[in-house]
Structure 1
Protein backbone atom coordinates (compact mmCIF):
# COMPACT_ATOMS: atom_id res chain seq x y z
CA UNK A 1 0.00 0.00 0.00
CA UNK A 2 1.37 3.39 -0.91
CA UNK A 3 0.79 6.47 1.29
CA UNK A 4 2.34 9.91 1.20
CA UNK A 5 3.87 11.71 4.15
CA UNK A 6 5.04 15.31 3.96
CA UNK A 7 8.18 16.59 5.70
CA UNK A 8 9.51 20.10 5.95
CA UNK A 9 12.71 20.65 3.94
CA UNK A 10 15.04 20.67 6.96
CA UNK A 11 13.67 17.40 8.35
CA UNK A 12 13.82 15.72 4.95
CA UNK A 13 17.44 16.82 4.47
CA UNK A 14 18.35 15.34 7.86
CA UNK A 15 16.55 12.09 7.04
CA UNK A 16 18.39 11.84 3.72
CA UNK A 17 21.72 12.40 5.49
CA UNK A 18 20.88 9.81 8.16
CA UNK A 19 19.97 7.36 5.40
CA UNK A 20 23.29 7.96 3.68
CA UNK A 21 25.20 7.56 6.95
CA UNK A 22 23.45 4.28 7.73
CA UNK A 23 23.27 3.12 4.11
CA UNK A 24 19.48 2.89 4.41
CA UNK A 25 16.60 4.21 2.37
CA UNK A 26 14.00 6.67 3.62
CA UNK A 27 11.55 3.74 3.53
CA UNK A 28 13.78 1.67 5.82
CA UNK A 29 14.10 4.59 8.24
CA UNK A 30 10.33 5.07 8.21
CA UNK A 31 9.70 1.34 8.79
CA UNK A 32 12.03 1.40 11.80
CA UNK A 33 10.47 4.57 13.20
CA UNK A 34 6.89 3.32 12.89
CA UNK A 35 7.79 -0.09 14.35
CA UNK A 36 9.35 1.67 17.35
CA UNK A 37 6.25 3.83 17.77
CA UNK A 38 3.91 0.83 17.68
CA UNK A 39 6.12 -1.08 20.14
CA UNK A 40 6.18 1.94 22.48
CA UNK A 41 2.38 1.87 22.64
CA UNK A 42 2.15 -1.92 23.00
CA UNK A 43 0.75 -2.59 19.54
CA UNK A 44 2.04 -5.86 18.02
CA UNK A 45 3.98 -5.22 14.82
CA UNK A 46 3.44 -8.60 13.17
CA UNK A 47 2.00 -12.04 13.88
CA UNK A 48 5.18 -13.24 15.58
CA UNK A 49 5.12 -10.23 17.93
CA UNK A 50 1.40 -10.71 18.66
CA UNK A 51 1.92 -14.38 19.52
CA UNK A 52 4.88 -13.58 21.75
CA UNK A 53 2.89 -10.92 23.56
CA UNK A 54 -0.15 -13.16 24.05
CA UNK A 55 2.03 -15.97 25.46
CA UNK A 56 3.86 -13.79 27.99
CA UNK A 57 3.22 -14.55 31.69
CA UNK A 58 1.84 -11.06 32.31
CA UNK A 59 -1.12 -11.86 30.02
CA UNK A 60 -1.94 -15.19 31.68
CA UNK A 61 -5.32 -15.32 33.43
CA UNK A 62 -5.07 -15.26 37.20
CA UNK A 63 -7.07 -17.47 39.52
CA UNK A 64 -9.14 -15.69 42.12
CA UNK A 65 -8.46 -16.70 45.66
CA UNK A 66 -11.29 -18.72 47.22
CA UNK A 67 -10.41 -17.41 50.69
CA UNK A 68 -11.93 -14.03 49.93
CA UNK A 69 -15.15 -15.49 48.55
CA UNK A 70 -18.06 -15.75 51.00
CA UNK A 71 -19.02 -19.30 51.80
CA UNK A 72 -22.41 -20.55 50.75
CA UNK A 73 -24.77 -21.71 53.49
CA UNK A 74 -25.20 -25.46 53.42
CA UNK A 75 -28.64 -26.97 53.21
CA UNK A 76 -29.80 -29.00 56.20
CA UNK A 77 -27.91 -27.15 58.90
Structure 2
Protein backbone atom coordinates (compact mmCIF):
# COMPACT_ATOMS: atom_id res chain seq x y z
CA UNK A 1 0.00 0.00 0.00
CA UNK A 2 1.36 3.41 -0.87
CA UNK A 3 0.54 6.65 0.93
CA UNK A 4 2.16 10.04 0.59
CA UNK A 5 3.48 12.01 3.55
CA UNK A 6 4.78 15.55 3.31
CA UNK A 7 7.84 16.69 5.31
CA UNK A 8 9.35 20.13 5.65
CA UNK A 9 12.76 20.56 4.00
CA UNK A 10 14.75 20.38 7.27
CA UNK A 11 13.08 17.15 8.39
CA UNK A 12 13.53 15.60 4.94
CA UNK A 13 17.22 16.49 4.95
CA UNK A 14 17.67 15.06 8.48
CA UNK A 15 15.91 11.83 7.47
CA UNK A 16 18.10 11.45 4.38
CA UNK A 17 21.23 11.90 6.51
CA UNK A 18 19.98 9.39 9.08
CA UNK A 19 19.17 6.89 6.34
CA UNK A 20 22.68 7.21 4.94
CA UNK A 21 24.37 7.03 8.34
CA UNK A 22 22.36 4.01 9.47
CA UNK A 23 22.51 2.31 6.06
CA UNK A 24 18.72 1.98 6.03
CA UNK A 25 16.22 3.06 3.42
CA UNK A 26 13.65 5.74 4.14
CA UNK A 27 11.05 2.96 4.01
CA UNK A 28 12.87 1.05 6.77
CA UNK A 29 13.13 4.20 8.90
CA UNK A 30 9.42 4.91 8.42
CA UNK A 31 8.43 1.33 9.31
CA UNK A 32 10.55 1.48 12.48
CA UNK A 33 9.10 4.86 13.47
CA UNK A 34 5.49 3.82 12.92
CA UNK A 35 6.00 0.50 14.76
CA UNK A 36 7.45 2.41 17.73
CA UNK A 37 4.51 4.85 17.66
CA UNK A 38 1.97 2.03 17.64
CA UNK A 39 3.74 0.28 20.55
CA UNK A 40 3.85 3.54 22.50
CA UNK A 41 0.07 3.81 22.24
CA UNK A 42 -0.57 0.14 23.00
CA UNK A 43 -1.69 -0.78 19.49
CA UNK A 44 -0.75 -4.06 17.80
CA UNK A 45 1.83 -3.74 15.04
CA UNK A 46 1.27 -7.05 13.27
CA UNK A 47 -1.82 -9.09 12.41
CA UNK A 48 -0.59 -11.83 14.74
CA UNK A 49 -0.42 -9.36 17.64
CA UNK A 50 -3.88 -8.01 16.79
CA UNK A 51 -5.40 -11.51 16.81
CA UNK A 52 -3.68 -12.39 20.08
CA UNK A 53 -5.00 -9.19 21.70
CA UNK A 54 -8.54 -9.82 20.42
CA UNK A 55 -8.53 -13.25 22.08
CA UNK A 56 -7.48 -11.74 25.39
CA UNK A 57 -10.53 -9.47 25.38
CA UNK A 58 -12.92 -12.43 25.34
CA UNK A 59 -13.76 -13.64 28.87
CA UNK A 60 -14.49 -17.10 27.46
CA UNK A 61 -10.76 -17.49 26.95
CA UNK A 62 -9.87 -16.74 30.56
CA UNK A 63 -9.07 -19.76 32.74
CA UNK A 64 -11.92 -20.71 35.04
CA UNK A 65 -11.33 -20.54 38.78
CA UNK A 66 -10.63 -23.94 40.29
CA UNK A 67 -13.28 -25.43 42.54
CA UNK A 68 -12.23 -26.64 45.93
Task: Give the TM-score normalised by the residue count of structure 2.
Answer: 0.72
For 1:15, the equivalent position in structure 2 comes to 15
For 1:35, the equivalent position in structure 2 comes to 35
Q: List runs of 5+ in structure 1 lacking aligned partners.
A: 64-77
Deviation at 1:45, TM superposition (A): 0.5
1:21-60 to structure 2, matched below 5 A, reads 21-50=21-50, 51=52, 53=53
Structure 1 residues 4-56: Cα deviation after superposition (integer angstroms, max 9, x where no partner): 000001100000000001100111100000000000001001133232x5677
Task: Give the TM-score normalised by the residue count of structure 1.
Answer: 0.64
Q: Distance in 2 between matches of 1:54 and 1:9?
A: 41
SS at match of 2:45: coil
More helix by share: 2
- The CA RMSD measured in Å over matched residues stands at 2.6
